[in-house]
Amino acid sequence: MDLSALRDLYARGEKIAVLTCYDAMFAGIMDAAGVDVLLVGDSLGNVLQGRRHTMAVSMDDMAYHTECVARGNASAWIVADMPFGSYQESPELAFRNAARLVQAGANMVKLEGGDWTLAAVRFLVDRGIPVCGHLGLTPQSVHALGGYRVQGRDAGAAQTLVRQGEELAAAGASMLVLELVPAAVGAEVTRRLQIPVIGIGAGPDCSGQVLVMHDMLGLTRTTLPRFVRNFLSGGGSIDEAIRKYVADVKSGAFPDTTHSY
């Protein structure tokens, strides 16, 4: 998968199936199961490192796991998260760290937030690094947001998300992750943007969906948000569960209204 193939999927209205992935073996399994995009998420801080939030994940952690995923992958598009502290300070710092992730095997980097991220997004895109934005619930700002809460609930906040999405796209972002917003907001942001919007708890009308792999395989033992479905429940194999996830995202069977806000 390259960027033009990803754009083709989007242009023909095919839903894009994304999962988080942190190692070589799962990368091979997911790629073979038809997952379009592997996200080396800084959620690895939660699921692999046992942390309560993602802010302590380092560049070394991200580069290591990106390299592992890249070794196991044959054809999926790899997006790597820029960890907290790796892009906030300046576009130049963002470039140095993004370049490290690309050298580790990422095809695209993801950074969280609107407005203040635009200069860094432009700086990276102008220098040949594809960028994915991330709006809505942005876990690296969880302390400022006051917890893991649904974002964009009132009309003003929803309009801000639309504007920020449009600005990120204008700055050159070629994909957007939209997390934990009402389904109507997910639909509106997706309708207004000309780039794929990948939802996580953002309703069924986004251009694609992403879940954390440990959540969708039923491994997470803490209480899960409503938007998660366990694709392994009822038996079968991990390979089958991932194939079912891809099929359900592509057909629109996942998510349904029970997984939305």
Number of residue whose CB is nearest ligand KIV:
41
CB of residue 57 to ligand KIV, shortest distance in Å: 9
Catalytic residues: 179
3-state helix, strand, coil in the chain (%, to 5): 45, 15, 40
User: Tokens 């899960």 — which residue?
Assistant: 224
Q: How many helices (H) and strands (E) does the chain have?
A: 11, 8
> How many chain residues interact with ligand KIV (CB under 6 A)?
11
Per-residue binding string, ligand KIV, 166-185, x by CB under 6 A, is -----------x-x------
* 28-67 binders of ligand KIV (CB under 6 A): 39, 41-43
Q: What is the CA radius of gyration of the chain?
A: 17
CB of residue 117 to ligand KIV, shortest distance in Å: 14
Q: Does 20 bind ligand KIV (CB under 6 A)?
A: yes
For 255, residues 6+ apart whose C-beta sits below 8 A from its C-beta are: 199, 203, 204, 209, 227, 229
Q: Does 228 bind ligand KIV (CB under 6 A)?
A: no
Alpha carbons 224 and 68: distance in angstroms, whole number:
27
CB of residue 47 to ligand KIV, shortest distance in Å: 8
| Binding interface with ligand KIV (CB under 6 A) | 20, 39, 41-43, 81, 177, 179, 200, 210, 212
